[in-house]
Amino acid sequence: MRTRTPALTRRQMLRAGGLSLAALGGLTACGATNATAPVPGLAPGADPWRRFAGTTINFISENTAPTAAIAANLQPFKDLTGINVNIVTLALPALVQRVALDLAGGQSQYDVVYADPYQVLAPYAAGLSDLREFAADDSYPPLEGGFEDFIPTQLQAAGMFGDSDAIHALPYDCPTMIWQYRKDIFEKHHDSMRTDLGFDPTPSAERTWEEYFRIAKWINDNVDEVPYGTGHQAKQHDSLMCDFSNVLWSYGGDYFADGAAVGLRGSEDPGECLLTSPESVAAAEFYRRLVSIAHPGSLGWDWDGVGNALAAGEIAMAPNWHEFAATNEEALPGLVGYAPLPRGPVGTANHYGGTGIGISAMSSGARRGAAWLFVNWATSTATQLSNLRSSAGGGTPTRQSVYAMPEVQAATTRPTEMPNMLTEEAVSIAWAEGKIGLRPKIPMWNECDTALFTELSRMLAGQKTAREAMEDATSRIDGIVARGWVA
C-alpha cells in the first residue's frame, strides 16, 4: 500500500515563509520535488538497515530529554546503518519558524522533524510524509510491533490530524502533568492534617481540587519545613495555559465543543469558543483562588520554575510534567511522590504534552529513506529503553512493549536507575480515556493560547474578574478562529 500526502497549498506556503511562487514550483502532489531521485532499491540478500550507508540527514528537534539522550549516543545508529545524523536543537518557537521556512523554501534542509502537534503538525500536516508508506514497504526493516505498539491515545494525539488516517509522526515523548509532592512532609503530618481537614490528605485521583486547596493552605499555616504548600507555573506564558487547563477540564469546561475529539485528532474549524460557560468560569475562579495562596513566585514561574522550587524545598507540592521525576530524584532522592491530579466536579484531567517525530514531505531520494530508518530506530523499543537509562537525558517510553519489560517494571519502585518510571502508576491512570487532557489541536492554536494566557495573567494580577477574563479570552479566540490560520 502506498498513500499520497497532499501538498501544502501555495497560500499556506507563502504564509509560512513569505517566499516566492518560484520557490514552490517543484512541489508535487506526493510531497516531493520534481528533481527527486528515486530511493535506491534493496539488492538481494542486502541488509535493509545498510541500504543508505554514507547518507547524511538532518534532524531538527526541540531541546527535549529524548533528543539529549539520542544525541549523546548516536554511534549505535551509525554502526547499524552507516548513516550520519546532524541534530539541531532549538527552543520550540525557533523550531516552528525554521520548519515553516524549510517547507516554504522547498529545500528540505531538515529531513526529520520534531512535529509538535499544535504548532507543527496541525498547521503543516500536508508538509509531513505519511509514515504508513514506509511501514508498508517490505524493502525497509519492519516497524517493530507495528503502529499498534504505541500507546493508542498518543499515536493519535501526536501523529494524526483531522479525519485522515495518515500517520504523520511516531510518538517520541509524552510529558504529562501529574501531582508531585513531598512524601516525607505528607507522611510526617498525615494524622494532623487528617484530623484538622476531616479527610485523608494522601494524594490520589480521589482527592478533589477543593481538598488540594485546603491541603496547601494547611501546609502554609502549619508546616515549617517548606514556606508554601503549593506552587504553579502561572507565568504569562504557555505554561499558564497548561496549568489552568487541568482545572478547566476537571470542572467540565472546555475550549470548544467536542473537545476530546478536537484534542485527539484535531480540526481546522473547531467552532465557537466555550470559555464563557458556567463550568469554565467556575474553573477560572477556583484557579484564581488557588494561585492566590500559592508561592508568590508562581506568577513568574513556568514548568522549570515550579520544578526548581520543588527540588529546592520551597513548596510541598505542585502539578507539573511527570518527566521532572529525574530532577526530583537527584535533588530529593526518595522524598517525592507521584499521583494523578485531583478531580473536579466531573472528574480528573491530566494535561498531555507529547510530541512525535516525522519526515518532511520535501525530503527526497536516499535522504528520505534514511530519515525513515532514523525515525524507526529513534522510537524503537531498544532506543526507548536506552533513553530511560541515559544520564544525558531520557524521557519516558511511548511503546506499550517497553512498559511490559521486566527490568522496566522493576524500575517503578526505588531504588531505580530509571527515575521517570517512578511515575508509571500515575501516568498510566493519566493516559486512560476520559482522564487524559488534550488541548485543541488546531492550526491557529498558538494564537489562541497567547490570547488565553494573557487574559488569565490579567485575572491573576487582579485586573479582571474570572468572568471578564473568560469573556475577553473567548472574544479573542473566536476572532482568531473566524479569521483562520495565519503562520
CA distance 410 to 426: 16
Strand order in the sheet with 170-173: 84-90, 56-62, 112-115, 355-359, 170-173
Amino acid at 167: I
- Res 35: pLDDT: 35
Give me the DSSP letters along 339-373: EPPPEETTEE-EEB--EEEEEBTT--HHHHHHHHH
258 grid coordinates = 467536542
- Reading the block at residue 312, the C-alpha cell is 529546592
Report the sign of the C-alpha dihedral through residues 13, 17, 18, 19, in that order: negative
The pairing of beta strand 56-62 with beta strand 84-90: parallel
Q: What is the pTM of this model?
A: 0.89
Peptide bond into 415 cis (omega under 30): yes
Site of grid cell 524493502: 139
Q: What is the pLDDT of residue 37?
A: 60
- Common-topology check for domains 21-175+354-403 and 177-350+438-483: yes
CATH of domain 21-175+354-403: 3.40.190.10
Of 66, 151, 153, 180, the residue nearest 423 (C-alpha): 180
**CA–CA–CA angle 285, 291, 292 (5° rounding):** 90
Q: Which residue in this structure is represented by grid cell 502506498?
A: 2
Query: What CATH topology corresponds to 177-350+438-483?
Result: D-Maltodextrin-Binding Protein; domain 2 (3.40.190)
Which of the residues in the chain have pLDDT under 70? 1-38, 393-394, 486-487
Extract the C-alpha cell encoding 19: 517566499
Distance (Å, rounded) from C-alpha 252 to C-alpha 345? 7
The pLDDT of residue 106: 73
Which residue type is seen at 408? V
How do the domains of the chain map onto residue ranges? 21-175+354-403, 177-350+438-483
